[in-house]
């Protein structure tokens, strides 16, 4: 299992502490004004507020379902990349042979061809994960204070694509790729051209060539699906308006909640004078709970909208890509000292 994301109560509190403090200031200010300035006329009935709360709850639920759908689709896409990559590596080792070659080549050359294509596939995954990490204007979750203060950053933001590709490509291939806009696509084109040359040399049987080309086609499909999620944001009319509706509800809530607690306190004054006089202050924890639930659910939806942004709750494409690389290079019988280690976890999070 690639993901290991443990969201404890402590982490959840830390994650939302700025908003919780803001809610505390709002309700303390309102209750203080209500209690000390006798603003008993500042109130609204529950009915319109309940209608707003119901509408906000429905929209938040829709947003969360849609965001989860985007995350799950992204995870399935990269799961497909895992399966196709392993199959591709296996086919390369078993299909590039002298079995049908009219002019057999040395075994060392066969292994060299297999390694070049395998490394180019690793370069494709590296280029794709770098492309998925490029910031978009609508990706704002990573800029939040709670992500900045813990330095939650994917490895792609701490490295350069050209430097990451150097160990997988020849100098000529690297120069050609870096001049292209869509580098993953250019790498798949190079793979196809290379396989065609091997077919023409006779060390790749024609049927095997078609099988490998079918896998490249599948990689094109998976890349396109991944790019679709990256380049098409969750519709802004839903995300933005839902955010505004949530804040309208949260800011109007004291106008109905505090008077309700004040009325209960008035009823208790005859029997319990002290409790009745102070009962309005109990609205503070109840307001914080309600406001925190609505805001946190809305924020969870916003966090899940962009599954490749690189925050703690996104699909760990860096870890997935490095895991495939380790598998492929181990199956090339490389020394374990030459194979890179998996990206380290940070705060129980994989990237």
Number of structural domains in the chain: 1
Mean pLDDT of 309-313: 81
| Mean pLDDT confidence for 260-281 | 86
Place of tokens 């759908």: 69
The reply to whether 343 falls in a domain is: no
Q: CA-to-CA distance for 103 and 121, rounded, in angstroms?
A: 27
Which region, left, alpha or beta, applies to residue 272 given φ > 0 means left and ψ of -120 to 50 means alpha? beta
Strand partners, 346: 349
Query: Which two structure tokens, joined as six digits, stand for 139?
Result: 């990706």
Q: Is the per-residue pLDDT at 187 higher than 90? A: yes
Cβ-defined contacts of 298-301 (< 8 Å, 24+): 298/60, 298/63, 298/242, 298/243, 298/246, 299/16, 299/19, 300/64, 300/67, 301/60, 301/63, 301/64, 301/66, 301/67, 301/239, 301/242
Answer yes or no: is 66 within a domain. Answer: yes
What was the pLDDT predicted at 1? 37
Within-domain flag for 183 = yes
pLDDT at position 262: 87
Asked whether residue 28 is assigned to any structural domain, the reply reads: yes
Asked if 283 and 257 touch (Cβ cutoff 8 Å), the reply is yes
Contact between 31 and 258 (Cβ < 8 Å): yes
- Of the pLDDT bands very low, low, confident and very high (cuts 50, 70, 90), residue 3 is very low
Residue 349 lies in a domain: no
Range(s) of the domain holding residue 42: 9-330
More confident position, 280 or 83: 83
Q: Has residue 57 been placed in a domain? A: yes
Confidence of residue 148 (pLDDT cuts 50, 70, 90): low
Q: What pTM was computed for the model?
A: 0.87
pLDDT mean over 315-321: 93
350 part of a folded domain: no
In a domain, 1, yes or no: no
Report the 3 state secondary structure along 159-215: CCHHHHHCCCCCHHHHHHHHCCCCHHHHHHHHHHHHHHHHHHHCCECHHHHHHHHHH
Residue 266: the pLDDT is 84
């Amino acid at each position: 299992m690639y993901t290991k994301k443990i969201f404890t109560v402590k982490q959840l509190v830390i994650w939302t502490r700025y908003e919780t403090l803001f809610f505390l200031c709002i309700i303390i200010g309102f209750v203080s004004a209500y209690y000390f300035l006798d603003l008993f006329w500042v109130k609204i009935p529950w009915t319109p507020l309940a209608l707003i709360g119901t509408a906000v709850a429905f929209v938040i639920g829709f947003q969360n379902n849609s965001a989860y759908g985007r995350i799950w689709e992204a995870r399935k896409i990269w799961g497909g990349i895992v399966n196709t990559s392993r199959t591709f590596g296996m086919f390369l080792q078993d299909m590039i042979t002298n079995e049908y070659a009219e002019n057999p080549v040395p075994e060392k050359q066969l292994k060299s061809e297999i390694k070049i294509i395998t490394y180019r596939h690793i370069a494709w995954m590296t280029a794709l994960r770098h492309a998925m990490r490029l910031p978009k204007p609508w990706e704002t979750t990573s800029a939040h204070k709670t992500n900045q203060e813990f330095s939650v950053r994917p490895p792609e933001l701490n490295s350069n694509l050209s430097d990451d590709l150097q160990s997988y490509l020849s100098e000529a291939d690297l120069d050609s790729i870096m001049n292209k806009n869509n580098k993953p696509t250019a790498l798949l084109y190079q793979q196809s051209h290379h396989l065609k040359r091997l077919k023409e040399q006779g060390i790749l049987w024609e049927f095997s060539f078609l099988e490998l080309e079918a896998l490249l086609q599948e990689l094109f499909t998976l890349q396109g699906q991944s790019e679709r999620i990256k380049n098409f944001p969750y519709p802004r009319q839903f995300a933005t308006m839902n955010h505004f509706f949530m804040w309208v509800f949260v800011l109007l809530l004291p106008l109905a909640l505090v008077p309700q607690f004040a009325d209960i306190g008035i009823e208790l004054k005859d029997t319990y004078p002290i409790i009745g006089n102070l009962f309005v202050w109990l609205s503070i924890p109840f307001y914080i709970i309600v406001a925190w639930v609505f805001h946190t659910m809305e924020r969870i939806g916003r966090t899940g909208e962009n599954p490749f942004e690189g925050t703690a709750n996104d699909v760990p494409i860096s870890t997935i890509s490095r895991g495939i690389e380790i598998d492929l290079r181990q199956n090339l019988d490389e020394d374990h000292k030459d194979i890179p280690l998996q990206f380290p976890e940070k705060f129980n999070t994989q990237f």
